[in-house]
Amino acid sequence: MDEIVLRALSKWPNVPAVYGWLSLDRRGNWLIKGEKISNPTVNAFIARNYERDGEGRWFFQNGPQRVYVSLEYTPFVYRAMNADDAPLGLECQTGARVTAVSGVWIDETGALLLQTEHGVGLVHDRDLDRVVYAFVDQSGKPLSEDVLSELMQALQDGHAAALWLKHGVANIKVEPLRSEEVCGRFGFQSRPGAAENQTQCT
């Protein structure tokens, strides 16, 4: 967190939290009351001070006040930073680069989800074409377009498939996953609310 935020927390430790104002959409945009935040300085400030609590609720620490984030899908959205057919490079909406991918899933809608050192996140839909080049078979070899399409459809239908994602020196098995299972499996709340004994601002 920013030093100014840490100082504010120590000075005013018991400011009521805010719920229902800030959200993160499927393309990594921060929104206030449904309106996209276009100011790059504000976006960067939110990204630097984005954390999660022990109950799986993600929040932005705005000085002494905790602003909880409603998630349209996942707490992170990953962007492909590589050129077409170059080795896969990833970055999340906070600007942090990805060094390790430990899990890969395709849900029933065809969305691609990754587990990295930052957390679970959705791959931005506009970047899927650049990620396609990283799909390989078990031996690490590229797949034809027809075979890849069949394997991805099988995963989307909830079936196991012989598909891996190459990231760095690792090949990670791609698994099927239902979207309604994501919050429970990865331990986060998509619509955080206050506990009964908590004071809150709305």
Pair 45, 91 in one domain: no
132 in a domain, yes or no? yes
Question: pLDDT-derived band of residue 63, with 50, 70 and 90 as boundaries?
Answer: confident
56 in a domain, yes or no? yes
The tens digit of pLDDT for each residue in 82-115 reads 988 789 999 999 999 999 999 999 999 999 999 9
Number of structural domains in the chain: 2
Q: Please, which residues have CB within 8 angstroms of residue 153's CB and are 6 or more apart in sequence?
A: none
Pair 67, 149 in one domain: no
Residue 11 has a pLDDT of 46
Pair 65, 81 in one domain: no
Pair 107, 175 in one domain: yes
Pair 93, 166 in one domain: yes
Question: pLDDT-derived band of residue 198, with 50, 70 and 90 as boundaries?
Answer: low
Q: What average pLDDT is seen over the chain?
A: 91
Pair 54, 100 in one domain: no
192 in a domain, yes or no? no
Beta strand spans in the chain (E): 17-24, 30-32, 35-36, 50-52, 58-62, 65-71, 76-80, 90-92, 101-106, 112-116, 120-123, 135-136, 164-167, 170-176, 200-201
Pair 90, 160 in one domain: yes
The tens digit of pLDDT for each residue in 125-174 reads 999 999 999 999 999 999 999 999 999 999 999 999 999 999 999 999 99
Pair 83, 128 in one domain: yes
The whole model's pTM is what?
0.90
Residue 1 has a pLDDT of 60
Provide Rg for the chain, Cα atoms: 19
Residue 16 has a pLDDT of 78
188 in a domain, yes or no? no
195 in a domain, yes or no? no
Pair 60, 86 in one domain: no
Counting Cα atoms < 13 Å in the Cβ hemisphere of 194 gives 14
Pair 126, 171 in one domain: yes
197 in a domain, yes or no? no
201 in a domain, yes or no? no
Pair 91, 153 in one domain: yes
Domain boundary among 72, 94, 123: 72
Pair 80, 68 in one domain: no
129: containing domain: 76-179
199 in a domain, yes or no? no
Choice between 67 and 3, residue whose per-residue pLDDT is larger? 67
